[in-house]
A and B are shown apart, each in its own frame.
Chain A
Amino acid sequence: MVLRKRSVVAVLAASALGLAGCGQSSGGGGGDAIELTISQNAIAGGKNAAAADHIANWVIPKFEEAQKAKGKDVTVKFVPSGVDDEQYKTKLSLDLKSGKGADVIDIDGIWAGEFAEAGYIKPLGELVGPEAESWDGWQQIPEAVQGLATFEGKKYALPVGTDGRVLYFNKTLFTKAGLPADWQPKSWQEILDAAAKLKSSGVPVPIQINAGTAMGEATTMQGVLPLLAGAGGEVQKDGKWTGASQAMKDTLGLYQKIYGGGLGDPKLQQEAKGRDKAFQQFAEGKIGILLEGDYFWRGVVNPKDGVAKMDDRDQVVGYAKIPAIEPGKGIRGQDFVSMSGGALRTVNPATKHPKEAFELLAFTLSPEALKEETKDGNVRITPRTDVNKEILAGEPLLTYISEEVLPLTAYRPPVAVYPQVSVALQEATAAVAGGTPADQAAADYQKKLEGLVGGAGNIAA
């Protein structure tokens, strides 16, 4: 509304300057030829290169072929990106706001709420039609994963995949410290005990649980939230936010025990590249226990192309479920907990060809496409159980997460204010790692939270 007026001025300014419009690639054109674009935060030769190659070299030719067989002349263009998620999100938002951007777009599951509220994405049923609701793939996607793509009861996108978080540990260090190689802690105390033993056996950093603002969302997802779930809390439940509850105090208390008790390296949490460094240190055998997602296994210590390769990953790296503070004290009364996230893929509301765009979207999530995409060491947990059964067979960790962890997992609330709440949580952990008592940090967090979510009324008593 505010911006509309300005566009008039801008147009006047443009015509006054006599600026010639420079070509803008747009879909359509004459005849039956349909041009579609698909964009991801992936780029050949850079970030998520495998995904980019998959789209360019397999999805596009196969899809065009399939459309041709149906008698439609469809050409698809891939628009790569490959930058920080925040930058990708910024650009995507600007594009969507202006009615630009690719026809098929990828977003992080956690952005669904804010994008929907801003009108940047639309329910697929409204935009595409009933075929989106009745897509046969839905039956293969577990309810929880479908929830990722759902906002206020409506499906805005198709889920692209999911993940889960576990405790990784170095079996070599464990053996040296006299700990079992098939370690599975059943309470937080057991984690602390193991860390203490690692410490006395000379391990420089017994345990790494991300803290502080420098690691950003990695602190929240691989730190606060799984622990909070283990203490029986959720960051938001039934529209109410969790403030300085006992669960929050317990969570921050664990941080206090780790970083105040010399079991972790508080400095590392502050470093701008702290997470990279932690990966490096784990690979070098300097870290005993690390809370991470399956990406760590696939992309970091992967002996083939990880950023911190471990040639003996399969022998040395062990993994265990994250225990509740005490058995049965986790969310939903669970003994073990985890957190999951996942990407979404949807149709740009500004597309000129919603039906074809949806066909392309659905095609990228067809069993064939997913199997092709996860070939050759690019295996990940797809949203489809039918596909997962096949592709995860040779992958013990991913099978473990898919079968043991995903049933226990929880998701972040897909609301617009979440990113700011996340920062507040990171700040609370930073404070504790820096020496502030856990109760004090929890109280400060609650105060900050009140400012973010619109007063104490929105915080659970």
Chain B
Amino acid sequence: MAQVTSPPEPAEVVSPAPARRYSSDAAGLGRLRAGAFVAPALALIAVFLVFPALWVIYLGLTNYRLTGVAAAEPQFVGLDNFVKALTDPEFWDSTWLTFQFVLGSAVIGQVVLGFTLAWMLKDRRGTLKSVVEGLVILAWILPSAVVSFLWVALLDRDAGTLNALLGIPGFAWLLDYPMLSIIIFNTWRGTAFSMMLYGAALGNVPPSHLESARLAGASGWQQLRDVVFPHIRGHILTNLLLISLWTFNDFSPFLLTAGGPDGKSEVLAVHVYKVALQNGDLGYGAAISTVILLINLVVAVFYLRLLRSKK
């Protein structure tokens, strides 16, 4: 580092040979310190996430079982489990149900309802806003064991509140419309996240832009399309990505319908639970988990393409 030399004459300054490099990011972290910031999280993730996740992927290549001979001496079976899954109609049924579940409850249900709520409450303050937000968030933070019980009570054939309100005692929601039931349930459960995210995103849309769109005579829909949507594109991406991922892996439908009746609501997460925990077929369960991972990957890439390419 240079030292101060006899004051104002700049000519006398001694320049150090090569100027020492230091970081030029906003906070002056530098790669080394940035590394130190990331390291604890990455170390935890490496040990408790990446390592066991790779292990799961490996298990998918074995015939490992919870009990029996295959528990003592699991054999490497290559892609047998994957072939079995891909040729098993139950797996495909389950995949199809999962798509319905994700599309219905996450992409349509939570996103649309969450956005609607955020949009409606955007310029409001006071009790109404806090009550609505509070209730929506309550549905999100209550433990799933409790929430599923509430819905079992709500949808019960004979004593359920819903049938009592609608005056149709004996209507078997969970049996005759199992997918609709879990889709509405999951919409109810998860809307809060989208609502909060969009609430924040809408707060970032400059009011002046909306103002000028309104002056230009844009309808509500045109305002959304031309002003709001371009501004919150990134948030939509994050939101879709996370809630799709979570919904794909959501196990709580099991608590409502146990996958039934006759597998009509057996989404993949429930399917894995049945295969891995109830049947103890861990190798096959791990293989299905890996397939879910791949489906999630495809979905993520799809979203990225959809929302990033138009930048």
Contact = CB atoms under 8 A, between A and B. Distances in A.
B262 A212 contact: yes
Nearest to A280: B158
A114 B279 contact: no
A118 B69 contact: yes
A270 B277 contact: no
A213 B62 CA distance: 27
A435 B259 CA distance: 20
Interface in A69-105: 86-87, 89-90, 93-94, 97
Nearest to B61: A2
A434 B262 contact: yes
Nearest to A3: B74
Contacts of B152: 272-273
B262 A115 contact: no
Contacts of A14: 47
A393 interface: no
Please tell me the size bucket of the interface on A: 35 or more
B241 to A, nearest CB: 29
A272 B258 contact: yes
B55 A423 contact: no
B120 interface: no
Residue with the greatest number of chain B CB neighbours at <10 A, chosen from A14, A90, A272, A434: A272
B175 A270 contact: yes
Contacts of B169: none
A111 B71 CA distance: 13
A378 interface: no
B275 to A, nearest CB: 10
A115 B43 contact: no
Interface residues of B, number: 34
Interface in B162-199: 172, 174-175
Interface string A425-452: 0010010001000000000000000000
A93 B279 contact: no
B279 A419 contact: yes
Contacts of B64: 2
A2 B74 contact: yes
A267 interface: yes
Contact of A270 (B66, B73, B261): B261
Contact of A93 (B172, B174, B256, B280): B280
B278 interface: yes
B22 interface: no
Contacts, number: 96
A460 interface: no
Given A214-B258, A419-B280, A117 B66 contact: no
Contact of B277 (A17, A90, A113, A117): A90
B72 A267 contact: no
Contacts of B58: 2
B175 A267 contact: yes
Contacts of B47: 13-14, 17
A93 B172 CA distance: 37
Given A13-B51, A272-B260, A1 B73 contact: yes
Nearest to B84: A451
Contacts of A89: 66-67, 280
Nearest to A423: B279
Given A2-B62, A13-B51, A270-B175, A111 B67 contact: yes
Contacts of B256: 272
B257 interface: yes
B68 interface: yes
Nearest to B276: A90
Given A273-B152, A416-B67, A117 B280 contact: no
The 9 closest A-B CB pairs, nearest first, are A270-B261, A416-B68, A118-B71, A114-B67, A272-B258, A114-B68, A214-B260, A117-B68, A117-B69
Given A120-B67, A416-B68, 14 more contacts: A13-B46, A13-B51, A17-B47, A89-B66, A90-B66, A90-B277, A93-B66, A117-B68, A117-B69, A118-B65, A118-B69, A267-B172, A270-B260, A271-B175
11 contacts: A93-B66, A93-B71, A113-B68, A115-B67, A117-B72, A119-B72, A214-B260, A271-B175, A272-B174, A273-B152, A434-B262
